[in-house]
Amino acid sequence: MKLPFFPEQASAMAQQVDAISLFAVSISFVAGVGIVAVLTWLGLRYRRSHRDEVGSAGHSSNLLEIIWSVIPGIIFIGLFFWGAKIYFENYRIPPDAVRYYVVGKQWMWKYQHPSGNREINDFHVPVDTPIELVVTSEDVIHSFFVPALRVKRDAVPGRYSTTWFEANRTGTFDIFCAEYCGAEHSLMIGKLHVMEQHDYEEWLEGNEPAQSLAMSGAALFEQNSCGTCHRSDSSARAPILDGIYGREIALLGGGVIVADDAYIRESIMNPQAKVVAGYQPIMPTFQGQLREEEILELISYIQSLGKKAESRTEAAAAVSDEGE
């Protein structure tokens, strides 16, 4: 199905979104034209032809009433469930999706690949791979929009919004900012380059980053002296961060929270907001000292600590197994 008034389709999601839009528009069109046609016909058929003509009360048909209530009812409720299905699919990130970060900034889009590669405006991704986008902003509200994928997500400062896509064809597609964000909003554009897997890998190699996100995060952890309190061998002053990512954290004053990206960001920018049970609120805020991308790198680093901790416990388990 190719209609000139839709942007090109580069994902299965785009096809689904177009199908439901087209259905809704067609139904409205048919109903609209039908109503006008019946209106016109009745107007002509039963028009007043003499000045002294008087109308008479008609009789109603229950069958007719039921038909024209039930049929549209089914159509519209069906449309609701269809829309809900697409909506949920669009918002539920597949577990095997690879995570990329998108940061909006007046007036550019910045991307971080899991490998540590960075890009501005141009965004290279592999085809047929579910890709999770964590979208945020460095300044004002922007909106990351790729019409060919039918993907649009607001980039809100201080918040991580997620969405995902899986491009099903290679090519170059437009990226826009879809939220008016200042003087050069219209220049806040980029290109999405969907590549074959091996081309993408070649591209990554050709643009070898100095280090992965987690490694940059480790360097920042060092530079900002996080390690003076968060030592991996002592939890006296501050909690050990190994393995906290994705775990439940008990908070001062009761309550637990899952240590996700948003929680870790808040812990760094506004440490007093949620204090870990058993600790003093002595952590200083890093508000204004770290850029959004640097916070993302720290998060990746903390996440990587989790993996290390896991493999360490596995190794420890293996060792104790051997000992028996």
Give the nearest distance from C-beta 242 to ligand HEC in angstroms.
10
- Contact string (CB under 5 A) for Cu ion, positions 91-130, x = contact: ----------------------------------------
296 makes contact with ligand HEC (CB under 6 A): no
Kindly state whether residue 181 participates in binding Cu ion, applying the rule CB under 5 A: yes
Shortest separation between residue 251's beta carbon and ligand HEC, angstroms = 8
229: contact with ligand HEC by CB under 6 A: yes
Cis, bond preceding 68 (omega within 30 deg of 0): no
| Residues between 233 and 252 that touch ligand HEC (CB under 6 A) | 237-239, 241, 244, 249
The answer to whether 200 touches 44, Cβ cutoff 8 Å, is no
Q: Which amino acid is at 80?
A: F
Which of 46-71 are b and which e, b meaning 16 or more Cβ less than 10 Å from the residue's Cβ?
A: eeeeeeeeeeeeeeeeeeeeeeeeee
Q: Which stretch, 45-53, 83-91, 159-167, 179-187, contacts Cu ion (CB under 5 A)?
A: 179-187
Q: Are 136 and 157 in contact (CB under 8 A)?
A: yes
Name the phi and psi angles at 11, rounded to 5. -155, 160
As separate numbers, helices (DSSP H) first and strands (DSSP E) second, the chain gives: 6, 12
Which among 91, 100, 93, 96 is positioned nearest to 293, based on CA atoms? 100
Q: How far apart are CA 195 and CA 125, in angstroms?
A: 6
Please give the Cα distance from 279 to 273 (Å, whole number).
Answer: 13
Q: Please give the Cα distance from 163 to 153 (Å, whole number).
A: 7
Q: Is 170 in contact with 136 (CB distance < 8 Å)?
A: no
Residue 279 touches ligand HEC, criterion: CB under 6 A = yes
- Shortest separation between residue 179's beta carbon and Cu ion, angstroms: 6
The smaller minimum CB distance to ligand HEC, of residues 103 and 226, is found at: 226
* Binding-site partner at residue 181 among Cu ion, ligand HEC, none, CB < 5 to 8 Å by type: Cu ion
Q: Which is nearer to ligand HEC, 82 or 263 (CB)?
A: 263
Tell whether residue 188 is a contact of Cu ion (CB under 5 A): yes
Q: Quote the least distance from Cβ 81 to ligand HEC, whole Å.
A: 40
Find out whether 244 and 299 touch, Cβ atoms under 8 Å. Answer: no
Nearest distance in Å: CB 292, ligand HEC: 14
Among 151, 298, 303, 304, binds ligand HEC (CB under 6 A): 298
Cβ-based neighbours of 280, under 8 Å, separated by 6 or more:
none
| Binder among 35, 282, 315, 316 for ligand HEC (CB under 6 A) | 282
At 313, list the tokens.
């416990």
Residue 238 binds: one of Cu ion, ligand HEC, none (C-beta under 5 to 8 A by kind): ligand HEC
Which one among 20, 156, 215, 275 touches ligand HEC, defined by CB under 6 A?
A: 275
Which residues are paired to 163 by β-bridges?
Answer: 133
| Chain contacts with ligand HEC (rule: CB under 6 A) | 224-226, 228-230, 237-239, 241, 244, 249, 259, 264, 267-268, 271, 275-276, 279-284, 286, 298, 302
| Chain contacts with Cu ion (rule: CB under 5 A) | 142, 177, 181, 188
